[in-house]
Structure 1
Amino acid sequence: MAHHVTARKMVKETGYYDLLGVRPGASLDEIKRAYRRLALRYHPDKNPSEGERFKQISQAYEVLSDAHKRALYDRGGERAMKEGGLGGRGGGSGFGSPMDIFDLFFGGGVRMRGRADRRGKTVVHQLSVSLEDLYNGSTRKLSLQKNIICRKCGGMKDGQKITFHEEGDQVPGLEPGDIIIVLDQKEHPVFRRSGDDLIVKREISLADALCGCRQVIRTLDNRTLLVSSLPGDVIRPGDLKCIPNEGMPVYRSPFQKGKLILQFEVKFPEPGWLPADRLRQLQAFFPPQEEVMATEDTEEVELSDYTAHGGPGRRPYTGEAYHEDDFEDGMRQHVQCQTS
């Protein structure tokens, strides 16, 4: 049999590539996309007369999606596959079930119409959980009601999601549906969640903001973190700092966590908290002020507190320095992580 040569790859045969409609040098993503399109088109539930075509497409995908099998096929074609313990097209022995390959590819989440018509209705329940439960994991006992088939009377007959397959209502002639538990996170008094990150607001004094501070944070799994800022590392109102790997656990990767983000608010002293002579002494510790020269046409005015009734045409002050929605966008640009 003649060898087939492409600009990128030389293979002995192209039969499996032709079945999927891809070139021999196709990437794994291209092979997956081709299989997805063809498997849905020729699935027996959709095209009962194309069962053999569906089987061949599945065999081609099984070989070409596995690096070892693909290399064996590229070197020796279907004959090498048979000698290596896998049957060729039409042989079938050694290959996985076409339906198993389909279910594995789609994660069992795609059910063709013929199968869906044979299943009972899915039952969805909402479950309120705390942030601590989502952080540490939790076990809940649920008392659920479902309809079951009455054997004696011949038959009788209703999102992260947790699915209990085929645990839903039973009805005559149908496979049981699923029970889906939809988690509903409760609001937490201290932490706010943003993806895998946890956000906590901390209020510090002006002295702490300028001279360094030590903060104690109680985590969701009851550990105590001592957080320190270095003297001279000035914290401004609204500054964001973070501690890596102290946020929420990453789903299905329990040893990886997001960031714990601290949003600082600085509490300033009340007016008149320090006598004028002491203020002058304090001012000596700060960088020099810019000198402002008054001219003959300069008019000197004094600042006063603004109120909502400051006069006609003036916009009332709402007391909100920023909108909560603005936090998410700004956070990604301004977060600084503590690495030591």
Structure 2
Amino acid sequence: MIKDTLLYDLLSIKPDACENDIIVAYYEMAERHHPENLKEKNHDSISKFDEIKFAYDVLSNEQNRKFYDENGYEATKEMFDKQDEFSYDNYTSQNYYGSLINNEYDFYQTPKITKNLVFPLKVSLKDLYRGTKKNFDYQVLVICKDCDGTGFKKVNTDKKCPKCSDQEEDSNVRIREICSECSECLTCAGERVVQEEKKIEINIEKGMRHRQQIAFTGLSNQKPGYETGDLIFILEQSKHDTFSRHEDYLIMKHTINLTEALCGFKILFRHLDGRLKAITCSGGEYFHNQTVKSIPKLGMPKLNSSDYGDLIIKFSVNFPESKSLNLEKIKILEEILPPKRTIEFKEDEKIVEVTSKHVDKNFFDYESDDEIRYAVDENLPEEAFLIKEDMQEEFESNPQRIECNTQ
């Protein structure tokens, strides 16, 4: 039983969040509340970032997280305060922004990081099944080489500019005197950065998922005095004509007629590996609407594994059109099929005959088959016996982030 959820709430995650969820949530919250990214640096902004960093350091450590879950926030804070090398009250100021002097913050010059450059990357279900490589062209800002990011022309350091040498240069303001010796860099027009066209090769591994992130460290926009952020691609899977996906399952819908449902049938379909697959169902194994079959190892490959999920086939049965059978055929069917059920009632009880009529299938706002239940393969794990279809194309609520080496 978790005593309180304060630290989870600070990162906007659930108490059952995995390690990757915590990392992603912290990264987003820290970037949003970092005092250097805010218009005003005050006590509240520092305290907020302090709390977020504290939450991450507790929840990202398995032992600390277990202690917090069992004992709560106050006990965890007290435990950290007792550590000789750690003081929660000075946590942010000592490690990131300096110490509190006369109620004013003296900020250390900690590294600043440029914002991440994020792009969507279109992929097909086949790409995620087979794995592939994609080339991506993008534009990025880089520090101007002609002026080394100063914004001014390079000049002879031994010779001072007669117009600028007498001016006292403030550390936070660049002098922009236009003269023959020191003027704005013609390449970047004083902006210190220039735009470049770049191409990168992205490796799509087998088993990756919709909305998964692939990150290249230090390939975002550059800025003088800043560390460079990451270049991130978010996979956007397009819809497939035959298959949909749920985790490592591939799901396929197939419609058969009443004769096939009773007498057997054969299915031919082309799998994502490019090969034709055949499924034969002999007569006597009756199928009905929402009958579901599973075929082991024909699902999606599991990331960083040689194993595969299962292929799930959901069947629906098309019945003959209304009044398409004459009385003679109906009598033949009655002889072949199991007998009708008998209705028992009291002889002295009055019976009122009523007439039914057809209702449009869209009469209700919901579909009756909004859930898939397995009719076979009892060896599947218990949690796999119920799959909600509206989750099949939904982004994995906690996308994984794959780190790539800088190219």
The TM-score range, normalised by the shorter chain, is 0.5 to 0.7
2:312 corresponds, among 239, 261, 268, to: 261
Amino acid in the other structure paired with 1:171: K
1:130 corresponds, among 119, 124, 149, to: 124
Structure 1 residue 46 displacement after superposition = 7.2
1:229 corresponds, among 278, 281, 285, to: 281
Structure 1 residue 42 displacement after superposition = 8.3
- Structure 2: gaps (5+ residues): 1-60, 68-78, 97-106, 150-191, 196-210, 380-407
Partner of 1:152: 146
Partner of 2:374: 334
Amino acid in the other structure paired with 2:232: I
Contact preservation (8 Å) 2:214, 2:233: yes
Relative distance call for 1:270 and 1:33 in structure 2 (3 A) is closer
Contact preservation (8 Å) 1:192, 1:198: yes
Structure 1 residue 260 displacement after superposition = 1.0
CA distance in 1, matches of 2:280, 2:148: 71
Counting aligned pairs with the same residue, the percent is: 29
Is residue 278 from structure 1 mapped to residue 291 from structure 2 by the alignment?
no
Q: Which moved more, 1:213-222 or 1:297-306?
A: 297-306
Contact preservation (8 Å) 1:136, 1:221: yes
CA distance in 2, matches of 1:116, 1:191: 50
CA distance in 1, matches of 2:289, 2:109: 59
- State the aligned residue count: 234
1:251 corresponds, among 264, 287, 303, to: 303
Partner of 1:184: 236
Amino acid in the other structure paired with 1:191: F
Is residue 287 from structure 1 mapped to residue 338 from structure 2 by the alignment?
yes
Partner of 1:140: 134
Relative distance call for 1:319 and 1:239 in structure 2 (3 A) is farther
Q: Secondary structure at the match of 2:283?
A: coil
Structure 1 residue 259 displacement after superposition = 1.5
| TM norm structure 1 | 0.59
Contact preservation (8 Å) 2:111, 2:227: no
Relative distance call for 1:114 and 1:338 in structure 2 (3 A) is farther
Task: Report Cα offsets for 1:40-87 as digits up to 9, x if no partner.
Answer: 9589997569xxxxxxxxxxxxxxxxxxxxxxxxxxxxxxxxxxxxxx
Structure 1 residue 276 displacement after superposition = 0.8
Amino acid in the other structure paired with 2:133: T
Partner of 1:89: none
1:317 corresponds, among 363, 367, 383, to: 363
| TM norm structure 2 | 0.50
CA distance in 1, matches of 2:271, 2:120: 26
Task: Report Cα offsets for 1:207-254 as digits up to 9, x if no partner.
Answer: 11112221112111212111122321111101111111111111222x
Amino acid in the other structure paired with 2:307: Q
Matches within 5 A, 1:199-214: 199-214=251-266
CA distance in 2, matches of 1:220, 1:242: 16
Matches within 5 A, 1:57-206: 117-155=111-149, 156-157=192-193, 159-206=211-258
Q: State the 4+ residue runs in structure 1 displaced beyond 6 angstroms.
A: 31-34, 37-40, 42-46, 113-116
Relative distance call for 1:46 and 1:219 in structure 2 (3 A) is farther
Structure (1 or 2) with the greater helix fraction: 1
Matches within 5 A, 1:299-310: 299-306=352-359
CA distance in 2, matches of 1:150, 1:206: 72
Structure 1 residue 285 displacement after superposition = 1.7
CA RMSD of aligned residues (A): 3.7
Structure 1 residue 115 displacement after superposition = 10
Structure 1 residue 33 displacement after superposition = 6.5
Structure 1 residue 151 displacement after superposition = 2.1
Amino acid in the other structure paired with 1:257: Y
CA distance in 2, matches of 1:116, 1:224: 59
CA distance in 1, matches of 2:255, 2:87: 62
Q: Secondary structure at the match of 2:328?
A: helix
2:351 corresponds, among 269, 279, 298, to: 298
Relative distance call for 1:249 and 1:335 in structure 2 (3 A) is farther
CA distance in 2, matches of 1:212, 1:319: 34
CA distance in 1, matches of 2:281, 2:108: 63
Partner of 1:92: none
Amino acid in the other structure paired with 1:167: L
